[in-house]
Amino acid sequence: MAAKTKTDATEALKQLTYLASAMKAPRIIEAAARLADHARDAGWTHEEYLAAVLEREVAARNASGAQLRIRAAGFAARKTIEEFDFDAQPAVRQQIAALASGGFLTEARNVVLLGPPGTGKTHLATGLGIAAANHGHRVLFATATDWVIRLSDAHRAGRLPHELARLRRYGLIIVDEVGYLPFEQDAANLFFQLVSSRYEHASLILTSNLPFSGWGGVFGDQVVAAAMIDRVVHHADVLTLKGASYRLRNRGIDTLPSIRETADHQPH
């Protein structure tokens, strides 16, 4: 760093110390100094840096910051593990309890939830996300389709590496509904880059109504799909939910074609 820049930075931090204490926001001083070099190295924008600094202050004020992280995650609905009826899915009770303690996040392991529609994949992915936020991890939730749109936008703007680096700051990214819609081949490559960039750095939760054997069709490329699945499952818990849709329970409807088709996760 040039001498002048360093002096300028020191001066600015001095001024920040004064301003932060005038605002009675003492954690800004520490966060501003601590995040400055990191922000420069990672190429954060001014807005991102300011948001990160302010977020530290707000998170600290807000007892644990968990509510802030849960709101920022973008869950489709707030569903907790406590609200899940494990009598409907007894086989995953213990695994989910272990995952909810958050150990998989510190090890950058992944979770894959497979099963027919309505069996609780989105509910459990959300519940694990809320548990992660409560454990202090930053979380982002979106459908696979939304992730592809986001990554395509970044790619078109020439900012994909920056976006992937930014996303690595999230301890958990949830990709819901892999397989509901087929992707373009470009999308498959973008998705592969997301998976690769997080591999052994930070966790992913993926949900799908298709067995892995059906992912090649979704991604329109068997080779890319196989390479991606390989990275996802290398350090992953794969949980398979079974049975009829919880939405349709007690209604005498248990013969939806999709349920029949995927109940045993046979390749098709």
Q: Which residues bind Mg ion (CB under 5 A)?
A: 122
User: Per rule CB under 6 A, is residue 262 in the interface with ligand ADP?
Assistant: no
Q: At its nearest, how many Å lie between ligand ADP and the CB of residue 226?
A: 24
Burial of 104 per CB tally in 10 Å (0-12, 13-18, 19+): buried
Q: Which of 14, 40, 61, 247 binds ligand ADP (CB under 6 A)?
A: 247
Q: Which is nearer to ligand ADP, 162 or 249 (CB)?
A: 249
User: Per rule CB under 6 A, is residue 179 in the interface with ligand ADP?
Assistant: no
The binder of 117, among Mg ion, ligand ADP, none, by C-beta within 5 to 8 A per type, is ligand ADP
Q: Helix (H, G, I), strand (E, B), or coil: what is residue 84? A: coil
Query: Segment 122-161, which members bind ligand ADP (CB under 6 A)?
Result: 122-123
Q: At its nearest, how many Å lie between ligand ADP and the CB of residue 237?
A: 17
Query: Whose CA is closest to 55, among 69, 37, 75?
Result: 69
Contacts with 178 (C-beta within 8 Å, 6 or more apart), sequence order: 144, 206, 207, 208, 210, 215, 218
Total residues belonging to the chain = 268
Q: At its nearest, how many Å lie between ligand ADP and the CB of residue 47?
A: 34
Q: Which amino acid is at 159?
A: R
- How many helices and strands (H and E) does the chain possess? 13, 5
232 and 204 in contact (C-beta within 8 Å)?
yes
Q: Which is nearer to ligand ADP, 66 or 114 (CB)?
A: 114
Binding positions for ligand ADP, rule: CB under 6 A? 79, 84-85, 88-89, 115, 117-123, 246-247
